[in-house]
Structure 1
Amino acid sequence: MDVQTWTWILVGLTFSLYIGVAIWSRAGSTKDFYVAGGGVPSVANGMATAADWMSAASFISMAGIISFAGRDGSVYLMGWTGGYVLLALLLAPYLRRFGKFTVPDFIGDRYYSGWARFVALLCAIFVSFTYVAGQMRGVGIVFSRMLFGDMDTVLGMTPINAGVVIGMVVVLFYAVLGGMKGITYTQVAQYCVLIFAFMVPAIFLSIQMAGTPIPQLGFGGGNEGGYLLDQLDGLSKELGFAAYTEGQKSTTDVFFITAALMCGTAGLPHVIVRFYTVKKASAARSSALWALLFIAILYTTAPAISVFARTNLLKTVDNASYAEVPEWFKKWENVDLIQFDDKNGDGRIQYTGPNAAAMGLPANELTIDKDIMVLANPEIARLPNWVVALVAAGGLAAALSTAAGLLLVISTSVAHDMVKKTIAPIIGMQLTERGELIWARCAAAVAVVIAGYFGIKPPAFVAEVVAFAFGLAAASFFPAIILGIFSKRTTTAGAVSGMVAGLVFTASYIIWFKFISPQSNVEANWWLGISPEGIGTLGMVLNFVVAVLVSIATPRPPQEIRDLVDRVRLPRAAFGEEDSGPVDH
């Protein structure tokens, strides 16, 4: 069978599985909708957390970024993995013991302030929408190339847009029907699909290119031509690119970008909420360890995929005749994710880097979207059609799992934090559990439509907004949560002042270099040599400093808040209690 037929079969089977699980585990209460009833087993929660964490960015984009950026791309690998470790060790168990459904709920109650809750609510919604729009676009890319083939239109729309709409319908069904309960068990299935889809081609390629079935060893090994990394360095230099294993970024910038990614991702609300779905704090710790194991399988394989894909790509397209390029090249070209411009009219592909002119090489004629590397990799290596289709199903699983988690954060933030905790008390409205559930489902439906719109019509600055989102989370959520857990002295004024200072500083820096004066976005103009992608780290430090200084200058928090911090942070045995649920507050 051809790739398209295999893809329809595998995607159809996996989508049927997701919908079936959602029907089986549909939510019947707000606790089911928000935190899956609080009774998910640790191993299952670890799988669901891993699926929630490993979005289309992890499955599709990360290996593509590393393929093109080489060593510099490792900041994403280190930052995202380190962010999860920070989350698991510093935040998850304590937030679970606090017992609230959302991050704005924690910040609002810990800092006894509606303003703090409102700032956290806006941040949660902004960060979540940024990511969910990217996931929907990833769904559209997979559908357009793998399922719709050479079709010019589908349902009166372009293939990418039709793919986004189909993804919207599927996510809407199990997110609105099942809530966190349906999403959790669906994400368990999606993790199994995505990790199998990622590892199978990696193992095939490792055997093919390095003679070992272990990709983590294969990309550091070699074949009769020598070590793979040495081969890739040589190919890269010959074509005017920098050596793959040599970074172009300064050590300072690498540190700040990695730290911003770590602290930003540790504060992402859609992953934090996963630790409320287990029975007690000890289960949150064990599920965090399980999730780290499940995440490590993909994250330690991604560098290998990057090396295999980059090596095969350079060998395939360098100086190849355009009339004789493989079928996969033309198919990706049809959806504008590969573009060939024959500048010298010789009918051959000149794929050269920024140093081409100095080396006397022709100007570059090939533009490749980084996001296609994982999806195109099996075809480039001429693996079986079912493997190509399997990767498409895995990419959809990764995108849909994270999209569902993000949509749930948006819906719970609107229903629980905005309507129930903010608007209802002001207008004197009594919101029942059934009413809150209706608000949550309506908010999820609206959020799916908005996310789909941005997936169909992404702003031209999507890549910049992603950097902004990480900086925003690092400069706002992370310090507020850390101080809320570990400092009894932090006051409302301190927390809010710190969040505002961090946000304003980080946003101003990124907006200036990314939007107002992009031509000045060069290292010589950066403050202390820190790029906009890494400035969130400095914003985070500013947040901490302002929060501490303002807290010292203002009256201590009430005694009940200080007691609450003790009960969240200290072992329950110190109070003669069992570790069986949230603290009483």
Structure 2
Amino acid sequence: MRLSTKGPRSQSAQLFRGYAAYSLGFVALVGLLSVLEVLGLARQWIGYVFLLSTVALYAGIGIMCRTSDPVEYYVAGRRVPAFYNGMATAADWMSVASFIGIAGTLYLTGYNGLAYILGWTGGYVLVALFLAPYLRKFGGYTIPDFLGARYEGNLTRLIGVLCAVLCSFIYLVAQIYGVGIITTRMTGISFELGIFIGLGGVLVCSFLGGMRAVTWTQVGQYIILVIAYLVPVVWLAVKQTGEPIPQVAASAVLQQVTERERELTHDEAERQVRALWQTRADAMQVRIDALPSSFEEEKQRLHWRLLRARANDAPMAEIRSLEREYASYPSSIESARTVWTKAREDFSARASPPVPHADPFASKNPVSSDAARNNFLAIVLCLMLGTAGLPHILMRSLTTPSVSEARKSVFWSLLFILLLYMTAPALAILIKFEIYSDLVGIPYAQLPAWVNAWSAVDRSLISIVDLNQDGIVQLAEVQLGADVVVLAAPEIGGLPYVISGLVAAGALAAALSTADGLLLTLSNALSHDTLFRVVSPRMGAGRQVILSKMLLLVVAFAAAWAATRTPADILFLVGAAFSFAAASFFPVLVMGVFWKRANKYGAASGMLTGLGVTIYYMVQAQPWLRELVLGVPTGVPVDLWWHIQPIAAGVFGAPVAFVVIVVVSLLTPAPLAVTQQMVDYLRQPD
């Protein structure tokens, strides 16, 4: 999609016609696949068509927008209209974790899940008020560019590069990991092959055209992901209430969900199942307390159970289950402690009654409502500051034609993001209503087909076990993963499989769009901000772009390699990116714009101190990270500060960074007069 050299109105009209044709073409593709499904097209082929056609669309846009011009490559020529930049920013923001995870989190945690929506959308208000217009007025290519100019030299620039790499790389790994999962579920191909097919689509866009190609690809990706998200939730709304507006439909069924939760809390069969889960949790605690002797004892007991089942010609399903359990038995005492502690926590959680969906600060964890409220507010604040500090989001404000367009762009971004985020709570409620009314209470012999289909894909997505052997599904016997709420929504609602393929295509678009922006941020930080600005300032413009493209390839394959290692607790790592951005970038950028006395010593000290406090809290508060870094066994209780979860560690780092910037700046020489004049210029009215 080439930007026109004509006037703004002519350019906007050309863009509108192009993307309108693109949208109609995609809708026609979905319609054609629906007809072919009715005629007998295999589900696997529907997945192949969605995967290949969407990746080909994105690659085609990337090829059309190829460039070697530095201004086009780094900031899309600063000619992107606010409306389309807002759409691209929304796609850049709508990662696979947001697309799939928000509704699932709201399903599992109810009211408390609103912290993520409030934090992530509220962050864009901070961007509009405190950062986007001023960064656009500065006119650099990257966020470290601004830090280097505002704080007089390469010290703060290089610390900014370090923070950008830290924030962006772990986020990029999560997106590529999501690409592998989605492509595998769409087509059945291997996880590793799915990663590299998706990575190919990312590279064609970012490698050939930089920010120019990424921008126009992200606009196309947003169109696909918003269609994919809205179709199943509107269908569920109409199915349950006859109302096509999901938010109105959800408000109508929320009272029924609340009443059903009260019934299930006091239902005798539910109480029986929860008691059985508590018995299992207690048994796990006995194992943990008996370590190390219990390690060998449990292994021998499991081995004898397997031998006895084989000798007695037990059902093959029972034998296979025991074989899998024996093969996956922990390899060491410490790993047994970790596995058994997790099992105890899972069993304890399932032994608790359902969390009331509409009750503020309700939780299965034994904490007070005040502690739950503090944690809710901490997550909101941390995600707001982190969103406003993520470099791949802030870079988008540099692509607009003017400062006023940058402000408008943030408005459009917020509007496009809210279109999905205000729908996610409705989807969570509608899916919960389906589960309570169509799954809980039915005989196991009548389980819907989608249950077996998704449990066969991954037992972590949905697991149902008849614990009390009564042949009836109880809620306490159903374990639903967060991801399945969105991915299985079409099948839960009775829609044809082609809509499931559409949802997977939307999730793929969300993953690829964010990966595009992150990949560009990383390669620019390493090439433009490090090699060109610091190592070789006299490097020619053409060579800069070539070097940036080479580093982009290196970063892409490094992230793909990391994703294939199947990193543990990937969602925590994504959350860590927000804490790192909140504690490092946000304070130094805000102080750089609004306090001209801030100097390079204060900025450098504040960024490092804020980052250090954040990392320290994460290490001592996240069980698996504490075990990895400090060697403390997972079973040892975690000491949380004011019950604040480690995902919100940035709330401790950010205030420290602000204080250190002020104190160190006042104790050291003031910035040069020309630097203070630049700050005055940035804050002048447009």
Establish whether TM, by shorter chain, passes 0.5: yes
The residue type paired with residue 146 of structure 1 is M
Q: Pick closer, same or farther for the CA change 1:519–1:503 going to 2, 3 Å.
A: farther
* Within-5 A mapping of 1:110-259: 110-148=150-188, 154=189, 159-222=190-253, 227-231=255-259, 233-234=261-262, 237=265, 239=270, 240-246=353-359, 247=361, 248=363, 250-259=372-381
Structure showing greater radius of gyration is 2
Residue identity matched to 2:416: F
* Alignment check: 8 A CA contact 1:312 1:380 kept: yes
**SS across alignment from 2:374:** helix
Distance 1:568 1:40, change over 3 A: same
**C-alpha offsets along residues 19-54 of structure 1, whole Å, 9 cap, x if unaligned?**
111111112211111111111111111111111111
Show the counterpart of 1:583: none
Q: Deviations over 1:515-556 (max 9, x none)?
A: 22554565xx32233222223112101110111111111111
Instruction: Give the Cα–Cα distance (whole angstroms) in 1 for the partners of residues 407 and 472 of structure 2.
Output: 53
Asked if residue 567 in structure 1 is aligned to residue 598 in structure 2, the reply is no
SS of match in other structure, 2:251: coil
Looking at structure 1, the residues matched to 674 and 358 of structure 2 have their Cα atoms a distance apart, in angstroms, of 55
In the TM superposition, what are the counterparts of 1:69-148 in structure 2 within 5 Å?
A: 69-148=109-188
Greater Cα shift, 408-417 or 467-476: 467-476
Whole-Å separation in 1 of the counterparts to 2:432 and 2:67: 45
Runs (5+) with no aligned partner, structure 2: 1-36, 271-352, 364-370, 627-631
How far residue 351 of structure 1 moved from its aligned partner, in angstroms, is 5.6
2:519 to 407, 412, 417: 407
Q: Residues 314-353 of structure 1 correspond to what in structure 2 (within 5 A)? A: 314-318=436-440, 322=444, 324-336=446-458, 337-338=460-461, 340=463, 342=465, 344=467, 346=469, 348=471, 352-353=475-476
Q: For residue 435 of structure 2, what is the aligned residue in structure 1? A: 313
- Paired residues of 1:411 and 1:444 also in contact (CA < 8 A): yes
Gap change, CA 1:307 and 1:341, over 3 Å in 2 = closer
In the alignment, the residues of structure 1 paired with residue 611 and residue 474 of structure 2 have an alpha-carbon distance, to the nearest angstrom, of 41
Deviations 1:332-358 (A, max 9, x none): 2233243647474849575655xxxxx
Three-state SS of the structure 2 residue aligned to 1:284 is: helix
Residue equivalent to 2:33: none
Q: Is 2:588 the counterpart of 1:557?
A: no
| Aligned positions, number | 543
Shift of 1:290: 1.4
Q: What is the alpha-carbon distance in structure 2 between the residues aligned to residue 479 and residue 5 of structure 1? A: 50
Deviation at 1:322, TM superposition (A): 4.9
Q: Summarize deviations over 1:550-569 as a string: whole Å, max 9, x none.
A: 11111110001000111111
- CA apart distance, 1:509: 0.8
CA spacing shift, 1:332–1:53, aligned 2, 3 Å: same
Separation in 2 of the partners of 1:457 and 1:320?
A: 40
Give, as a single letter, the amino acid of the residue that structure 1 aligns with 2:447. V
What amino acid is the match of 2:586? F
The structure with the greater share of residues assigned to helix is 2
1:303 maps to a residue whose letter is: P
Q: CA RMSD for the aligned pairs?
A: 2.1
The answer on 1:381 being equivalent to 2:493 is yes
Which of the numbers 63, 73, 79 marks the counterpart of 1:23? Answer: 63
Query: How far apart, in 1, do the equivalents of 2:469 and 2:555 lie?
Result: 50
- CA distance change for structure 1 residues 184 and 259 in 2, over 3 Å: closer, same or farther? same
- Deviation for aligned residue 1:384: 2.5
Q: Assess if the C-alpha contact under 8 Å between 1:329 and 1:338 holds in 2.
A: no
CA distance, structure 1, for counterparts of residue 555 and residue 566 of structure 2: 15
Counterpart in 2 of 1:53?
A: 93
1:243 maps to amino acid = P
**Aligned-partner Cα distance in 2 for 1:21–1:349:** 52
> In the alignment, does 2:306 pair up with 1:275?
no
* Structure 1 pair 422–534 and aligned structure 2 pair: CA distance change class (3 A): same
The 1:306–1:341 alpha-carbon spacing in structure 2 relative to 1, beyond 3 Å, is: closer
Identity percentage of aligned residues:
38
CA deviation after TM superposition for structure 1 residue 374, in Å? 0.3
**TM-score, scaled to structure 2:** 0.76
Return the TM-score normalized by structure 1. 0.88
Aligned to 1:541: 655
Post-superposition offset of 1:232? 5.5
